[in-house]
A and B are shown apart, each in its own frame.
Chain A
Amino acid sequence: MELSLLSFVQIIIACLLIIGLMVGNAVIMVYIERKAAGFIQRRPGPYEVGPRGTIQAICDAMKLLGKQLFIPGNVDWALYFLAPVLAFLPVLVLFLPIPFGKYLTTLQVDDGILLILAFAGLGVISNILAGWASNNKYGLLGAARAVAQSVAYEIPMIMALLAVVFLTGSLNLTAIVERQGTWPWEWNIAYQPLACFIYFVSLVGETNRAPFDLPEAESELTAGFHTEYSGMGFALFFLSEYANMLLVSFVCATFFLGGYRGPILDGFWWTFIKAYAVMCVIVWLRWTFPRVRFDQLLNINWKWLLPLSILNLWVTAIIIKFID
């Protein structure tokens, strides 16, 4: 891939669009999340600000921007400020290889999924830094949990994605989408249901969402690793959390749900519809299940997801070998 001026400009524009997407996504998801929480608990949710509470999330964001940046004593200054930035920046890179549409990819790289998996690891580092730098026992405990959890859940996640890569014979996300058909039974979810399930469970664990939100378990750790962050620091963590959610949903849509291919008219709208459907399921899970205990969390991973994903990979490899 040669880096011409044109592709450089293209990447800059795409990055700006992606930042817009991330911010817009956070605003929309906060609204969806709170409304869903309300409806599931049979109450109206946000209602007062704007028609049916639609601008509630924007007002919350404004409030967050206007808040005092409170820095507790004895923090490690450099790391304390580095952590939220480090949480936010890699997410930008993660979106680069995602094929929103057939020609709507920021950066056509042959090892797209490798890029995503490699940079996704940086998110954990930001959590550790935040927990460590804020000189707070809850922050540190949250950070420790984040490490154990993310490291554990990354493995079955990669295994599940690998099964699809075996099937396609390519790490390029566009190629993976192209191999899938337009109808749901031609998508990878039909060929790899177990991998899809494993990926889905580990994406919930990987993004620290309930029922696996132990690094920020409010009832135990006040807010976990971002306890000591206020104002913009907190906003950046918040933004990156939702952006991460969006990213794993996009990857899920690309790998298992046929990406931009759909029954009627192929296009980027299918990617978005599918990704947001996955997000809605994640929200649904959050308001249904209670938080698991930490040993349960790791048991689910090491005793179930990991063996299952290895088994799935073996079976896939053997079948591919025989068919070929």
Chain B
Amino acid sequence: MFKAIIDNLKGLYSLLVGLFITGDFFLSPQKTTHYPRKVDDPETLKSYRGPLELVPADNYGNGKCISCQMCVRACPGHCLTVTKGDKGKEPKVYLYDFTLCCLCAACVESCPTGAIRFSHKVYMVAPTREALHLDLIADLKSRATKIDPMGTKAARLKVAKAEAEAAKAKADAEDAAKAKAGPAGSAGAPA
């Protein structure tokens, strides 16, 4: 009986404490960011996992990727498509399907050269699904033109050429994928 009374008085006191906590919150400044008018300090977004991006090796839009396919194999969602280029080790196609990605970082951890990382793109809007099928090489190039300290016309032309090549390579890859899917489908039908 007395224990129950004491317990209930303690409970009542804890309710009072709760009221003071919310009262304190009521008076303290707000924690949220009013998005279109304000944006977060980029420093606070450092730990945010946005869609993947390639790590630039220099300012000219070159990455560190060696097309070893480790990330492609590690990815549980099959989001990544990496095709080795004709010369050297650089990939000519690096496609990333953000709609399938679970942001697990298996790819980032498995990469031997540290070529990929998570971006901090918080304010991202996609009007269609297709807009989330990202071409990471093009993305890398686009960032390079912005950072490039020697943003000359020649450098921009070079980038544009590389981009055109990447787009063509992408189209090629898609054609190849279609060609691969075509015979498989016709072969599968009669069986």
* Interface check A77, CB cutoff 8 A: no
B8 touches A288 (CB 8 A): no
**Cβ distance B113 to chain A, nearest Cβ, rounded Å:** 43
Chain B at the A interface: mostly helix, strand, loop or mixed?
helix
* Interface check B45, CB cutoff 8 A: no
**Cβ distance A204 to chain B, nearest Cβ, rounded Å:** 12
Q: Which residues of B contact A39 (CB under 8 A)?
A: 25-27, 30
B30 touches A40 (CB 8 A): no
| Cross-interface CB contact of B8 among A44, A285, A304, cutoff 8 Å | A304
Q: Which residues of B contact A42 (CB under 8 A)?
A: 25, 28-32
A43 touches B25 (CB 8 A): no
A47 touches B19 (CB 8 A): no
A36 touches B32 (CB 8 A): no
B18 touches A289 (CB 8 A): yes
Q: In the complex the two chains form, what is the Cα distance from A36 to B26 in whole Å? A: 7
A39: nearest chain-B partner, CB-CB: B26
Q: A39-B25, A39-B26, A304-B8 in contact; A44/B32 too (CB < 8 A)?
A: yes
> What's the tally of chain A residues with a CB closer than 8 Å to chain B?
14
Q: 1/0 contact trace for B19-40 toward A, CB 8 Å?
A: 1011101111111101000000
* Interface check B164, CB cutoff 8 A: no
Q: Which residues of A contact B32 (CB under 8 A)?
A: 42-44
**Cβ distance B88 to chain A, nearest Cβ, rounded Å:** 52
* Interface check A41, CB cutoff 8 A: yes
A44 touches B15 (CB 8 A): no
Q: A289-B15, A304-B8 in contact; A43/B30 too (CB < 8 A)?
A: yes
A288 touches B22 (CB 8 A): yes
B34 touches A40 (CB 8 A): no
Q: Which residues of B contact A43 (CB under 8 A)?
A: 30-32
Q: Which residues in window 60-90 of A have CB below 8 A to B?
A: none
B31 touches A288 (CB 8 A): no
A287 touches B34 (CB 8 A): no
B5: nearest chain-A partner, CB-CB: A304
* Interface check A119, CB cutoff 8 A: no
Q: Which residues in window 266-324 of A have CB below 8 A to B?
A: 284-285, 287-289, 304
Q: Which residues of A contact B23 (CB under 8 A)?
A: 284
B31: nearest chain-A partner, CB-CB: A42
Q: In the complex the two chains form, what is the Cα distance from A41 to B34 in whole Å? A: 14
A284 touches B22 (CB 8 A): yes
**Cβ distance A255 to chain B, nearest Cβ, rounded Å:** 22
| Cross-interface CB contact of B25 among A40, A47, A285, cutoff 8 Å | A40
**Cβ distance B21 to chain A, nearest Cβ, rounded Å:** 8
Q: In the complex the two chains form, what is the Cα distance from A217 to B18 in whole Å? A: 21
Q: Which residues of B contact A47 (CB under 8 A)?
A: 34
Q: Which residues of A contact B21 (CB under 8 A)?
A: 288
**Cβ distance B124 to chain A, nearest Cβ, rounded Å:** 22
A42: nearest chain-B partner, CB-CB: B31
B26 touches A40 (CB 8 A): yes
**Cβ distance B2 to chain A, nearest Cβ, rounded Å:** 15
B28: nearest chain-A partner, CB-CB: A42
| Cross-interface CB contact of B18 among A36, A41, A44, A288, cutoff 8 Å | A288
Q: Which residues of B contact A41 (CB under 8 A)?
A: 25
A47: nearest chain-B partner, CB-CB: B34
B26 touches A285 (CB 8 A): no
Q: Which residues of B contact A287 (CB under 8 A)?
A: 22
**Cβ distance A287 to chain B, nearest Cβ, rounded Å:** 6
Known pairs A42-B25, A42-B29 / 14 extra A-B pairs, C-beta < 8 Å:
A39-B30, A41-B25, A42-B28, A42-B31, A43-B30, A43-B31, A43-B32, A44-B30, A44-B32, A47-B34, A284-B23, A285-B19, A288-B18, A289-B18
* A-B contact list, 12 entries, CB within 8 Å: A39-B26, A39-B27, A39-B30, A40-B25, A41-B25, A42-B25, A42-B31, A44-B30, A284-B22, A288-B18, A289-B15, A289-B18
Give 5 closest A-B pairs by Cβ, nearest first: A43-B32, A288-B22, A42-B31, A39-B26, A40-B22
Which residues of B are interface residues toward A (Cβ below 8 A)?
8, 15, 18-19, 21-23, 25-32, 34
Which residues of A are interface residues toward B (Cβ below 8 A)?
36, 39-44, 47, 284-285, 287-289, 304
